[in-house]
Amino acid sequence: MEDKQPYTVLAVDDNLLNLKLIEKSLSKEGYRIFSADNGPDARKIADKEKPDLILLDIEMPGENGFEVIKKLKDDAGTNSIPVLFLTGVSEVDSKLKGFELGAVDYIIKPFHPLEVLARVRIHLKLSIATNSLIAGQANKLKQVTEAQVSMMPTPEENPKALFGVFYQALEEAGGDFYDILNISEKITGYFVADFSGHDIKISYMTASVKALLAQNCTPVYSPAESIKLINDVLVEILPEGKYLTACYMHINRTTKKLTIINSGHPPVVCMPKKGDPYLIKMDGDVLGMFKDAHFGVQSFDVEEGDKFFVYSDGLVESAENKVTWASGADSLLPTYKKVAKVPYDKAPTELVKQLFGEDSLLEDDIVVLCVEV
């Protein structure tokens, strides 16, 4: 088994005996100790070795402890190392000054080695917790940034996902979006969603949802579990009154199993290789609104060559003609039939052309995804 790297502590004291005492008691507990009996040496070691913690005596000839902390805190390479200072019991001013300069704690002299050990432990724990928090946040921000960069994945980038897409947003911060999740070599997730409202906040929220998809759509969770997890986070983070309707389609091309999770979204259209297109209707609560939301879930076997259309309500609704998707979806089936022979990568554009004509002005954002098994 590989040995773990020991935590390192730099002890700084002009009193040789104190240094030895600290060294003996801490090294016995598995810490690796660097020691320095003056400020400039201490700073050199801190810079080179980047210890996990520094124990620093205040009263030293030459550069005293205050000057050392100040310089350590001014140096980007050492300013995050926690510093505990050693000070006399009566020196209130020096304690305050130490904190002011950025020390995390003090130990009163004469010190007891077991107290030093206890304080070293607690501050290392704090430092580990803080560091992991920072690393976690940095990682999450990175995911949001990455998600924003690849906001709308293209079919060219995802050839194994076998999909075509038509995407048009009326405004920059469109309410519709989609995502492709390459869960494994043969398992792909397709997510189409529509945010309530159109405003700039949505682009941020879209990024959050995409980051959540990336985090939660993994082989570890079933599709229903993934959406439930995402819902629970969205309930916490979405502003009041904001929600999304969404459809998540999960295809395992090895087992030929398809699962659809519907949350208040228009029904998926199934176009079997042989036979007429039909709607897969399900009831389900919207996403991001209720903690105990209930989503529509359906799983079924599919065959190679079967096609599925996942789309947003802009495709079927018309404010002008007062059509909602609940009634509009059925009326579109004949149009799907017309594009039955069109390859999946061209089908979405062809479908929109059939429905709205070549150059008509769209009333709403539209996303149409056609996926082939």
Partner 1 sequence: MDFKDLASRLGIDDEDFMELVELFVTTSLSDIDKIKKGFQEGNCDDAAAASHSIKGASGNLGFDDIYKLSMEMEMQAKQGSLENFENFISDLESMVTALNSI
- Contact residues: partner 1, CB under 8 A: 14-18, 20-21, 24-25, 28, 59, 61, 109-114, 117
Quote the CA–CA distance of 89 and 42 in Å, as a whole number.
24
Quote the CA–CA distance of 362 and 368 in Å, as a whole number.
14
- Give 22 or 310: the residue with its C-beta nearer to partner 1: 22
What is the nearest approach in angstroms of partner 1 to the Cβ of residue 61?
7
- Give 25 or 218: the residue with its C-beta nearer to partner 1: 25
Q: How far is CA 188 from CA 111, 194, 217, 251, in A?
A: 61, 20, 9, 5
Q: Helix, strand or coil for residue 91?
A: coil
- Give 25 or 168: the residue with its C-beta nearer to partner 1: 25
What is the nearest approach in angstroms of partner 1 to the Cβ of residue 117?
7
Burial of 307 (0-12, 13-18, 19+ CB in 10 A): buried
What is the nearest approach in angstroms of partner 1 to the Cβ of residue 107?
11
What is the nearest approach in angstroms of partner 1 to the Cβ of residue 38?
14
What is the nearest approach in angstroms of partner 1 to the Cβ of residue 123?
18
- Sheet containing 268-271: give its strands across: 163-168, 366-372, 307-311, 268-271, 278-280
- 15 φ, ψ (degrees, to nearest 5): -90, 110
- Give 112 or 294: the residue with its C-beta nearer to partner 1: 112
- Give 9 or 271: the residue with its C-beta nearer to partner 1: 9
Question: For residue 279, what are the β-bridge partners?
Answer: 269
What is the nearest approach in angstroms of partner 1 to the Cβ of residue 23?
10
Q: CB neighbours of 37 closer than 8 A, spacing ≥ 6?
A: 12, 13, 14, 15, 16, 19, 60
